[in-house]
Homo-oligomer: A and B are copies of this chain.
Amino acid sequence: MAQSLIKTYPKKATLFAAGDAAGALPKLLSGAVILYTILPDGRRQVLDLAGPGDFLHFETEGEIDHFAEALTECQVASFQASELLASKDTAAFLIEQMRERLAMERRHITMLSRKSASERLMDFVLLAADCLGEDEGRFDLPLTRQQIADFTGLTLETVSRTFAKWQRDNTLTRLAGQTYQMSGALAA
């Protein structure tokens, strides 16, 4: 696939902001990225976590409508939309990527719509382990309680209390500062 260039960003770097002009489509090669919007009232809504292989937005023209921030050091390749569309294969690939993202957002909707606080957080932890996990259910969580709350639609206090409860009953163990280990049953 024709790719214009590969960029590397340090942890916490802003890859792009809402309002930036859309250009090439960025695809994450390594690392993890958080995607979010800022609402009129100033609050943040975390839309998604992206892992290797995920496109970070699909805007081919106009302005990008959300922010992307590196959770870890990461590499991003950019592809010209016009080139991706030129070939039937790459166009089909792009559609498939968008379909997956759409399915992801729909799971997010389902989570927010009906689940309790601890169910939402469990969904989040499993997603985080998928995007950020090293192995065997061990993963780093370079997100603030507020960011987790903004993903799950809860308050940071509820997030904190739920994590505390899990540590008490050994569902989740804190190995180091931000490194957690899921209990065996969940890691599967």
Contact = CB atoms under 8 A, between A and B. Distances in A.
Contact of A86 (B60, B88, B105): B88
Contact of A43 (B86, B101, B105, B114): B114
A109 B91 CA distance: 27
A39 interface: yes
A88 to B, nearest CB: 5
A6 to B, nearest CB: 23
Contacts of A113: 45, 112, 150, 152-153
Interface of A: 37, 39, 43, 45, 47, 58-60, 65-66, 81-82, 85-86, 88, 91-92, 94-96, 98-99, 101-103, 105-106, 108-110, 112-114, 150, 152-153
The 7 A-B pairs of least Cβ separation, nearest first, read A113-B153, A112-B112, A105-B105, A98-B98, A91-B91, A85-B91, A45-B110
